[in-house]
Amino acid sequence: MTSVLIDTAATEPTAPTTPSPFSLSDRTIAITGGGRGLGLTLAHASVEAGAHVACLDILPAPSPAEWATLISATKLAGVTATYHRCDVTSEAEVDSILRFISDAGAARGAELRGVIACAGIQQKIPAVDYPATEFERMLKVNTTGVFVTAKYAARMMMERGVSGSIVLIASMSGQVANRGLTCTAYNTSKAAVQQMCRSLAQEWGQDGIRVNTLSPGYIRTAMTDELLATDPTLETTWMAGALLGRLGVPDDFKAPAVFLLAEGSRFMTGADLRVDGGHCASA
Ligand SMILES: NC(=O)c1ccc[n+]([C@@H]2O[C@H](COP(=O)([O-])OP(=O)(O)OC[C@H]3O[C@@H](n4cnc5c(N)ncnc54)[C@H](O)[C@@H]3O)[C@@H](O)[C@H]2O)c1
């Protein structure tokens, strides 16, 4: 196994304050793309809701400041956080690391019952110039990587005989073509994730495994900072569709993600939860 493991020991648990439909206590949640940005924020949200978390990312180590904040939250909640270096395009790595996380969760009485597939990449190239090899790389990370994550997460849950919730991070770009952005491969990869969700939900519902997509609008993260650096006028274009007068921040997705993972959404599967500040509601 090629993972790098950073572990934090559980401390004395405090009384849970989260209402039960939104509680993630007594379970482990694995988050790909959990080394920074949205993924690490959603790991924090899971900890606040009472979960033990395992973050997987291709980065050698998580973003230090954000990780330190997560560790403080684990100490308050009496849960653990682990970090595992993992490339979601490697089926062998995802298999062995999720198995390790599932076994560790079972051993501490907190089965792996939730996964957020958040790892992703973005690239802005005009379609007429888009190299097919780059197009394939985008699909490999954003679509196949999400599939492989969901596949092994579901397999671990089936082997352990536990129910679970799998949240695939898609994008509003799976449904609309963003003005000003030449991102055909990215948009295609996210539309594929939305359809993958419906197919997996259809296959795994009888096993007690729910699958939903969470589709964000524009969020200020390293990913969008890179796009804005190449073309600062983009922000004006994006703000024209911002019905709430601002772009998103990672914290805006904490409650939607926890809702999809927790029992409060127990009758929801094969659905897309779009959280975009109203962007897709107006033309
Ligand atoms: N930022 C936005 O506006 C926005 C909007 C809609 C959807 N999303 C989606 O949200 C998710 C998180 O994006 P973000 O904005 O936090 O960007 P980000 O670049 O900060 O985070 C993406 C993470 O995925 C990791 N990653 C990339 N390739 C990987 C691989 N092969 N294996 C494992 N990890 C890998 C990166 O190292 C990074 O930590 C992505 O799926 C993205 O498409 C973002």
- Which of ligand 1's atoms lies nearest the C-alpha of 222? 20
Q: How would residue 4 be classed by pLDDT, with cut points 50, 70 and 90?
A: low
> Would the pLDDT of 1 be above 50?
no
Q: How would residue 215 be classed by pLDDT, with cut points 50, 70 and 90?
A: very high
Residue 238 lies in a domain: no
Say if CB 215 and CB 273 are below 8 A apart: yes
Average pLDDT rounded to a whole number, residues 63-91: 98
Q: How far is CA 96 from CA 4, 102, 244, 277, in A?
A: 13, 10, 43, 38
Residue 239 lies in a domain: no
Residue 179 lies in a domain: yes
Q: How would residue 72 be classed by pLDDT, with cut points 50, 70 and 90?
A: very high
190 catalytic, yes or no?
yes
Q: What is the pLDDT of residue 283?
A: 82
CATH number of the domain to which 185 belongs: 3.40.50.720
Q: How would residue 227 be classed by pLDDT, with cut points 50, 70 and 90?
A: confident
Say if CB 85 and CB 147 are below 8 A apart: no
> Would the pLDDT of 220 be above 70?
yes
Residue 19 lies in a domain: no
Compute, in angstroms, the gap from residue 11 CA to the centroid of ligand 1.
31
The answer for residues whose C-beta is within 8 angstroms of residue 246's C-beta and 6 or more apart is: 277
Compute, in angstroms, the gap from residue 186 CA to the centroid of ligand 1.
11
Residue 231 lies in a domain: no
Q: Which domain holds residue 79?
A: 24-217+253-274
Average pLDDT rounded to a whole number, residues 104-108: 98
Q: What is the pLDDT of residue 113?
A: 98
* Active-site annotation holder among 75, 83, 152, 190: 190
Residue 227 lies in a domain: no
**Ligand 1, CB within 6 Å, residue ranges:** 32-33, 35-39, 57-59, 86-89, 118-121, 141, 145, 169, 171, 216, 218-219, 221-224
130 catalytic, yes or no?
no
* Active-site annotation holder among 83, 152, 186, 218: 186
Residue in 185, 171, 270, 165 with CA at minimum distance from that of residue 214: 171
- The strand order across the sheet containing 272-275 reads 5-7, 81-85, 52-57, 28-32, 112-117, 164-169, 209-216, 272-275
Q: What is the mean pLDDT of the chain?
A: 94
Residue 119 lies in a domain: yes
Residue 96 lies in a domain: yes
